[in-house]
């Protein structure tokens, strides 16, 4: 069984941890050599790298790291991103020198990840190779997880906002500046991905979609996480063409984005914050869609007009057990669609 998922940061990571837990629970109790267990499904995670940024000369990949720390047990649970037991000595020292920017929080333990990544990239390793090395430390292979960046080419999501003082009345800023510094409060006109015109999917990305038995879209941001992965050349076509059912989990609950600013992102596309609007973004390849009980009525239209299998259940990932149950439901829906 090969499961391929796309993922952003917190929503994707929490879902994936639930998926791994669900699959673990289903395994026989007998211990197996790592990688020797034929019953363990292989999970390929295609991670968003549009959020990536270079700060203080360090290459930072926030979404890949959130997935890695969450699966590896090193995540700051309350925050959902960054390391647990974190200290901030380096950034305090940098601030004392007046080094910019000071709006991006980066702890000491986290910095070590970025130093390692930047060093290995500098030695000529690809981002895929670096991500695999970092993931080894966090035990991803042992969990049957292969974390792939969507592309090895440097890409960055930029946000175009209105600015009367700028030429043409608009200016673009890095996604992180919009999201973290401005808390997505400046109305976005659109998102552009710098470097995507020259980008290629990372090795294994398209194969993982084409040869999967099941593709799952976790409840990640539909615009700036999943939406960005979908713009990598070939990814959308692979999703349309795969024989595997594609099952998505709504990131919108009761017309709200749960956490983060997905509403501001959907608004930039002229869309309301509804489970239906999100499904509409995936309409050309989606086979199954899990919505929260609160959105059951709202998805009636979809069910009738687009031939999509829509099911409803509680989708709030309050802790690991609830995320495990949600992941199990996505898997179950996928298995039923495989047979159908």
Q: Name which of 194 and 294 has its Cβ closer to ligand GDP.
A: 294
Work out whether 221 is an interface residue with ligand GDP (CB under 6 A).
Answer: yes
CB 296 within 8 A of CB 252: no
- State the nearest-atom distance from the C-beta of 157 to Ca ion, in Å: 9
Angstrom distance (rounded) from CA 4 to CA 147: 10
State which of residues 3, 5, 6, 12 lies at the interface with ligand GDP (CB under 6 A).
12
Angstrom distance (rounded) from CA 18 to CA 31: 21
From 130, 96, 98, select the one nearest 114 (Cα to Cα): 130
Angle (CA) 201-205-210 rounded to 5° is 120
- State the nearest-atom distance from the C-beta of 61 to Ca ion, in Å: 10
- Using CB distances below 5 to 8 A depending on partner kind, what does residue 316 bind out of ligand GDP, Ca ion, none? ligand GDP
State which of residues 225, 242, 274, 324 lies at the interface with ligand GDP (CB under 6 A).
225
Strand, helix or coil at 149? strand
Q: Which residues contact 312 (CB under 8 A, 6 or more apart)?
A: 290, 291, 292, 293, 295, 296, 299
- Using CB distances below 5 to 8 A depending on partner kind, what does residue 260 bind out of ligand GDP, Ca ion, none? ligand GDP
Q: Name which of 230 and 310 has its Cβ closer to Ca ion.
A: 230
**Contact string (CB under 6 A) for ligand GDP, positions 239-268, x = contact:** -----------xxxx---xxxx-x------
Q: Residues 81 to 140: which contact ligand GDP by CB under 6 A?
A: 81
Q: Name which of 62 and 94 has its Cβ closer to ligand GDP.
A: 62
Chain residues binding Ca ion by CB under 5 A are: 8-9, 51, 63
Q: Residues 306 to 335: which contact ligand GDP by CB under 6 A?
A: 315-317
**Contact string (CB under 6 A) for ligand GDP, positions 40-69, x = contact:** -----------------------x--x---
CB 16 within 8 A of CB 75: no
Residue with tokens 């592309």: 151
**Tokens describing residue 266:** 């959907």
Angstrom distance (rounded) from CA 112 to CA 115: 5
- DSSP track, 6-61: EE-SHHHHHHHHHHHHHHHHHS-SS---TT--TTSPEEEEEE--TT-EEETTEEE-
- State the nearest-atom distance from the C-beta of 283 to ligand GDP, in Å: 19
The kind and range of the H/E element at 171 are: strand 170-174
Work out whether 220 is an interface residue with ligand GDP (CB under 6 A).
Answer: yes
Q: What is the DSSP letter of 291?
A: E
- Using CB distances below 5 to 8 A depending on partner kind, what does residue 334 bind out of ligand GDP, Ca ion, none? none
- Using CB distances below 5 to 8 A depending on partner kind, what does residue 251 bind out of Ca ion, ligand GDP, none? ligand GDP
How far apart, in Å, are the Cα atoms of 124 and each of 104, 108, 127, 156? 27, 25, 9, 20
Stretch that binds ligand GDP, among 8-16, 35-43, 86-94, 135-143 (CB under 6 A): 8-16
- State the nearest-atom distance from the C-beta of 312 to Ca ion, in Å: 26
Q: Name which of 94 and 262 has its Cβ closer to ligand GDP.
A: 262
- State the nearest-atom distance from the C-beta of 130 to ligand GDP, in Å: 19
Give the total of residues touching ligand GDP (CB under 6 A): 24
Q: Name which of 62 and 135 has its Cβ closer to ligand GDP.
A: 62
User: Is residue 138 classed exposed, middle or buried when 0-12, 13-18 and 19+ CB atoms within 10 A define those classes?
Assistant: buried
State which of residues 4, 5, 6, 9 lies at the interface with ligand GDP (CB under 6 A).
9
**Tokens describing residue 274:** 């509804």
| Residue ranges that bind ligand GDP, judged by CB under 6 A | 8-12, 63, 66, 81, 219-221, 225, 250-253, 257-260, 262, 315-317
């Amino acid at each position: 069984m090969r499961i391929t998922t796309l993922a952003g940061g917190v929503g994707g990571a929490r879902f994936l941890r639930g998926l791994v837990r669900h699959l673990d629970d289903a395994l026989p109790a007998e211990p197996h050599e790592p990688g020797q267990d034929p019953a363990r499904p292989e999970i390929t995670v295609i991670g968003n790298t549009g959020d990536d940024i270079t700060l203080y000369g360090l290459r930072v990949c926030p979404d890949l790291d959130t997935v890695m720390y969450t699966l590896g047990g090193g995540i700051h649970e309350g925050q959902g991103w960054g390391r647990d037991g974190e200290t901030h000595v380096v950034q305090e020292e940098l601030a004392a020198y007046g080094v910019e920017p000071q709006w991006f929080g980066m702890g000491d333990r986290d910095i070590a990840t970025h130093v390692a990544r930047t060093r290995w990239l500098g030695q000529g390793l690809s981002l895929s190779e670096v991500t695999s090395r970092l993931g080894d430390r966090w035990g991803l292979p042992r969990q049957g997880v292969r974390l792939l960046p969507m592309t090895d080419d440097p890409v960055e999501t930029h946000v175009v906002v209105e600015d009367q003082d700028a030429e043409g009345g608009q200016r673009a800023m890095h996604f992180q500046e919009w999201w973290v510094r401005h808390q997505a409060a400046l109305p976005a006109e659109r998102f552009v991905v710098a470097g995507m015109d020259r980008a290629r999917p990372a090795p294994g990305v398209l194969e993982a979609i084409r040869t999967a038995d099941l593709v799952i879209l976790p409840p990640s941001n539909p615009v700036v996480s999943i939406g960005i992965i979908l713009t990598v050349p070939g990814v959308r076509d692979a999703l349309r063409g795969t024989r595997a059912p594609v099952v998505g989990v709504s990131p919108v609950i009761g017309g709200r984005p749960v956490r983060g600013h997905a509403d501001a992102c959907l608004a930039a596309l002229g869309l309301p914050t509804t489970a239906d609007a999100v499904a509409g973004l995936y309409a050309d390849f989606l086979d199954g869609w899990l919505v929260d009980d609160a959105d059951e009525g709202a998805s009636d239209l979809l069910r009738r007009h687009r031939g999509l299998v829509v099911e409803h259940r509680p989708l709030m990932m309050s802790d690991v057990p609830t995320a495990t149950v949600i992941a199990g439901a996505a898997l179950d829906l996928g298995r039923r669609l495989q047979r159908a």
